[in-house]
């Protein structure tokens, strides 16, 4: 065999090897990547709810900004305008639709600028990485929420609503309402009345002060706590413990007598706040609920003390 022939055969072999390597490389590049393991969608966060798009409340879907929507006035120059507010203290998390992952159940209130405040309950879930409003249902006008919890795929609300003889402004009838996802929509499945609001409704719960007239308890101070009983109330004003008589004058109305407190001395800032709290507490004449929190107010509607459970 001549040298030229040997050289040609060697070059051909090299070419075949190169072609094989290229083909293998093409096969490796064409192979699809293994899909990521599937899992349940993440649970919605409170931050996501603050910017949620909500349907089924106003005339069209609206998007919240920091938990609130303020729409344009109904007419040019008009003072009234539609609003929608997320009740941040009243959010529950759990499975509402039977699919993997948890949803968020939130309570919101809307107003067109008049005296009415229409309360709604809404379910939100994360789908394909986006927060989605899965369903919304109306609860009622000026309904007061006592508590919200989830149980076996249902959202249950204990509320105070207007009874047959109540003015719309001042509901006193206790009710329990149940909501569930049915056919892709949120619907009320049950509603039952449970009597009338009384001081006993407040009992067996430790209520901790959250704010006074919308101003939070100053940082570094111990929040006052109160425990209601049928004829008395006891607790801590922050520094000293106290007891006081209490009498229910009508459903949703009360009279608190002078508080008898211990005499322990505390730093000036604590003592000043304690005295302010006790003065307003003794003047409280009405009690109601705001987004699952207890609100005590004076006769003139000022001096609002807001407590959480």
Q: Domain boundary at 197, 221, 243, which?
A: 197
Mean pLDDT of 283-305: 92
DSSP secondary structure of 234-274: EEE-SSSEEEEEEEEEETTEEEE---EE------HHHHHHH
Domain assignment present for residue 112? The answer is yes
Domain assignment present for residue 8? The answer is no
Decide if 121 contacts 150 (C-beta within 8 A): no
Domain assignment present for residue 209? The answer is yes
Decide if 293 contacts 306 (C-beta within 8 A): yes
Q: Are residues 204 and 169 in the same domain?
A: no
The parent domain of residue 277 ranges over 200-308
Q: Are residues 139 and 58 in the same domain?
A: yes
CA distance 137 to 96: 14
- 76 φ/ψ sector (left φ>0, alpha ψ -120 to 50, else beta): beta
β-bridge mates for residue 183, sequence order: none
Q: Are residues 145 and 243 in the same domain?
A: no
Domain assignment present for residue 162? The answer is yes
Q: Are residues 51 and 182 in the same domain?
A: yes
DSSP secondary structure of 172-236: -EEEEEEEEEETTEEEEEEEEEEEE--GGGGTT--EEEEEETTEEPPTTSPPPEEEE-SSEEEEE
- Among residues 178, 184, 129, 121, the alpha carbon closest in space to that of 154 is found at 178
Domain assignment present for residue 27? The answer is no
Q: Are residues 244 and 156 in the same domain?
A: no
Mean pLDDT of 273-280: 96
252: CATH: 2.40.128.270
Domain assignment present for residue 1? The answer is no
Confidence of residue 19 (pLDDT cuts 50, 70, 90): very low
Q: Are residues 145 and 247 in the same domain?
A: no
Q: Number of folded domains in the chain? A: 2
Mean pLDDT of 168-192: 95
Q: Domain boundary at 197, 228, 243, which?
A: 197
Q: Are residues 84 and 185 in the same domain?
A: yes
Q: Are residues 61 and 191 in the same domain?
A: yes
How confident is the model over 57-78, as pLDDT tens digits?
A: 999 999 999 999 999 987 787 7
Q: Are residues 190 and 228 in the same domain?
A: no
Q: Are residues 241 and 286 in the same domain?
A: yes
* pTM (global) more than 0.85: no
Mean pLDDT of the chain: 89
Domain assignment present for residue 98? The answer is yes
Domain assignment present for residue 171? The answer is yes
Sign of CA dihedral 233, 236, 238, 241: positive
Q: Domain boundary at 197, 231, 265, which?
A: 197
In this predicted structure, what is the pLDDT of residue 73?
87
Mean pLDDT of 30-37: 52
CA distance 59 to 57: 7
Please tell me the least confidently modeled range out of 43-57, 72-86, 114-128, 275-289: 72-86
CA distance 115 to 122: 22
Mean pLDDT of 285-298: 95
Q: Are residues 239 and 301 in the same domain?
A: yes
Q: Are residues 89 and 137 in the same domain?
A: yes
CA distance 205 to 158: 15
């Amino acid at each position: 065999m001549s040298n030229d022939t040997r050289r040609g055969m060697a070059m051909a072999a090299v070419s075949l090897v190169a072609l094989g390597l290229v083909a293998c490389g093409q096969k490796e590049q064409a192979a699809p990547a293994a899909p990521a393991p599937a899992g349940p969608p993440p649970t919605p966060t409170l931050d996501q709810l603050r910017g949620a798009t909500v349907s089924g409340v106003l005339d069209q879907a609206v998007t919240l900004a920091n938990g609130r929507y303020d729409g344009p006035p109904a007419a040019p120059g008009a003072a009234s305008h539609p609003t929608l507010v997320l009740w941040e203290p009243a959010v529950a998390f759990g499975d509402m639709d039977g699919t993997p992952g948890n949803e968020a159940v939130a309570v919101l209130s809307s107003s067109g600028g008049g005296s009415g405040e229409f309360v709604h309950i809404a379910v939100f879930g994360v789908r394909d990485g986006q927060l989605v409003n899965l369903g919304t249902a109306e609860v009622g006008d000026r309904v007061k929420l006592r508590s919200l919890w989830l149980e076996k795929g249902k959202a249950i609300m204990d509320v105070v609503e207007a009874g047959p003889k109540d003015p719309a402004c001042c509901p006193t009838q206790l009710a329990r309402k149940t909501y569930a996802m049915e056919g892709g929509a949120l619907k009320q499945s049950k509603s039952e009345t449970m009597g009338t609001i009384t001081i006993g409704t407040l009992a067996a719960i430790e209520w901790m002060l959250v704010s006074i007239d919308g101003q939070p308890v100053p940082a570094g101070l111990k929040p006052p706590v109160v425990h209601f009983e049928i004829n008395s109330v006891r607790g801590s004003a922050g520094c000293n413990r106290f007891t006081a008589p209490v009498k229910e004058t009508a459903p949703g109305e009360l009279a608190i007598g002078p508080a008898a407190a211990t005499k322990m001395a505390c730093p000036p800032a604590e003592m000043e706040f304690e005295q302010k709290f006790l003065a307003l507490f003794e003047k409280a004449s009405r009690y109601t609920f705001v987004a699952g929190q207890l609100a005590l107010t004076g006769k003139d509607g000022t001096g609002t003390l807001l407590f959480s459970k």
